[in-house]
Amino acid sequence: MRQEILYEIKSLYRDDFRVTGYRFGEGEKSVCIMGSMRGNEYQQIYVCSLLLERLQKLEQKGRLVSGHEILVVPCGNPYSVNTKKRFWTIDNTDINRMFPGYALGETTQRIAGGIFEKIKDYRFGIQFASFYMPGNFVPQVRTMKTGNENVELAKQFGLPFVVLHNPRPFDTATLNYNWQICDTDAFSIYTTSTREIDKQSAKQAVDAVLNFLSKQGVITYKGYEGYISRVVESQDFVNVRTECAGFFEKEAGAGDEVEKGQRLARIREPYTGQILQEILAPVEGIVAFAHNETLAYQNTAVYKLIREENIK
């Protein structure tokens, strides 16, 4: 393993901003694995740390196939991690909405551009991502429908679901989208959590990546094969929204199978304790996403359900 500073900004008042990468092997730029891009993505950094540990052991045993290079970047935004801010600490902008970047632009555009210049030429790109809303996901691999997506490759991770996502205008500035535009087979992996460490789903994500690398001939590895992935379109998710604001009492979690009419959660009035709403499942299906904050606001999508008939 070789440690390298991929991008750096000098600072007058505090430590320099550095994006650190870890390289394994030499030869074709085969796989780049990107961890946290936002300051509260602790789980994503943790998954990368477990992956680095496993790759080092495989390297010591001579199980990295020659002629391939693997690059792991645990964190692309260490400043925001250090200050416990999700987005850039100065102007609250999102680095993962700044790709492919611009060397003469705002700070986050320059960071995105500096990172992308180092990682854009890899054959496969894997990002440990998080959702824009707080909550827990059923483990899944997502890929954007750019015309360059490869569903069969996505299935080789062995995660429960492959989600195909039609890019919205702001998605065109994400890493996943720009990787695909540059002919990288790009995948975003969602584990169960973001701000909290979930060891079980973290291990599942590491196993999924190692299985994928093995199937691409990058490493020699035999592990748990995982699931026969089922494919679903993100547009087919059924949103379940709140009618009012209050304390959120969750009863169903990510991955649960629910019946139509089953109670998923309750909204309670914070001062009096009165039950303001019982949130019921509008369809039979699987919970793909569940809100996990103490408070829920009015008209917020606190659940996303997958209808069984929409799974391919």
The residue ranges of every structural domain in the chain are: 2-233, 237-310
Mean pLDDT along residues 100-122: 96
Mean pLDDT along residues 280-305: 96
Q: Which helix (H) or strand (E) holds 127?
A: strand 124-128
Domain 237-310: give its CATH code.
Answer: 2.40.50.100
The vertex-175 CA angle with 172 and 177, nearest 5°, equals 40
pLDDT score, position 300 = 94
Angstrom distance (rounded) from CA 304 to CA 20: 35
pLDDT score, position 78 = 94
Residue whose structure tokens are 């250090």: 82
- pTM of the complete model: 0.93
The per-residue pLDDT for range 17-66, each reduced to its tens digit, is 999 999 999 999 999 999 999 999 999 999 999 999 999 999 999 999 99
Mean pLDDT along residues 233-251: 96
pLDDT score, position 209 = 97
**Best CA proximity match to 232, nearest among 146, 128, 304, 135:** 304
Total residue count of the chain as it appears in this document: 312
For 7, the 3-state DSSP assignment is strand
Read off the tokens for 308.
């069984």
Q: Which CATH number fits domain 2-233: 3.40.630.10, 2.40.420.20, 3.40.50.300, 3.30.365.10?
A: 3.40.630.10
Indicate if the pLDDT at residue 272 is higher than 90.
yes
Eight-state DSSP code of residue 65:
P
pLDDT score, position 270 = 96
pLDDT score, position 222 = 84
